[in-house]
A = this chain, B = another copy of it.
Amino acid sequence: MIIQIKSPDQSGIIARYTTLLFNNNANILGLEQHVEDDKKLFYMRIRVDLDSLKISQESLKEKLENLSKELGASIRIFNASSALKVAVFATKEQSPVYDLLMNYRSGDLPCEIVCIVSNHNYMKDVAEDFNIPYHHIPITKANKLEQEKKTLELLNSYNVELVVLARYMQILSKGFVELYDERIINIHHGFLPAFKGQKPYHQAWERGVKMIGATAHYVTEDLDEGPIIEQDVISVNHQHSAKEMVKAGRDIERRVLTSAVKAHLERRIILHGKRTIIFHP
């Protein structure tokens, strides 16, 4: 069981939750906490082993929820063993999709990748290689809304709980984003907040930067403005054309995206406004 707490900062929070768990034979495997000073908010994540639990899981949840009410805290309780259902959206770029699938196959991504969705057919072979259902939903200006509706029905039919945009080059509508609030992760191939929007590597080349980056973030209504989960960079120099930057960037894009998805799946992320608190593995 994984427990996420968000509470007004006050004395005794750790003592009270851990005592409640201890008294009911729920064994703490790991605990991490953080205080955001600007708003005096306390955040905590607890991983719990329930093998020796002496009450029912439901009773434990109820007790945890009652304590949270008392403290004015909000609590989220996750079943550590239930794998989230994930849909991967892609267009042309195979590298981040492969990386997700390989980590999935080797057991490093605790989820179930239920489908790959694409507006093109480039990823069909990859999906077949890994035995993942593939859905080709081509998009034109004319049919965009209709196709998005179809996509949402598809996600619904799979009970998708996380959408991963693995270099999916379409912008999702406001409605879509709201439906999957805090549940869409995008990889932007630039070091946000620099180089928002289209062709970030070309922007970077024009500006003559000496490092290029990639940013994984939650998708919000404002493009490339969502809370950042992970970033990384690599050095480039005058010998890199914009095209070579594209190639050089592939490696960090896939790494940053896979790592961000893993943090989400392991329930290690809590949002604090536009900022993310990422607890350790």
Contact = CB atoms under 8 A, between A and B. Distances in A.
A19 B18 CA distance: 9
Contact of A15 (B15, B32, B209, B281): B15
Interface in A217-267: 227-233, 237-239, 241, 244, 247, 251, 255
A191 to B, nearest CB: 6
A278 B237 contact: yes
Given A95-B102, A211-B231, A231-B210, A21 B32 contact: no
A32 B34 contact: no
Given A11-B25, A34-B238, A274 B98 contact: no
B238 A277 contact: yes
Given A102-B94, A194-B193, A276-B208, A233 B230 contact: no
A102 B98 contact: yes
Nearest to A130: B129
B30 A22 contact: no
Number of copies of this protein chain within its complex: 4
A19 to B, nearest CB: 4
Interface in A135-188: none
Given A238-B277, A275-B238, A207 B231 contact: no
A23 B16 CA distance: 11
Contact of A207 (B129, B229, B274): B274
A167 B247 CA distance: 24
Contacts of A193: 194-195, 207, 209
15 contacts: A14-B18, A14-B28, A14-B31, A15-B15, A15-B18, A18-B19, A30-B33, A31-B31, A125-B129, A191-B191, A193-B207, A209-B228, A210-B229, A213-B233, A239-B281
Interface of A: 11-12, 14-16, 18-19, 21-23, 25, 27-37, 52, 94-95, 98, 102, 105-106, 108, 125, 129, 191-195, 206-211, 213, 227-233, 237-239, 241, 244, 247, 251, 255, 272, 274-278, 280-281
The 3 closest A-B pairs by CB, nearest first: A208-B275, A194-B194, A15-B22
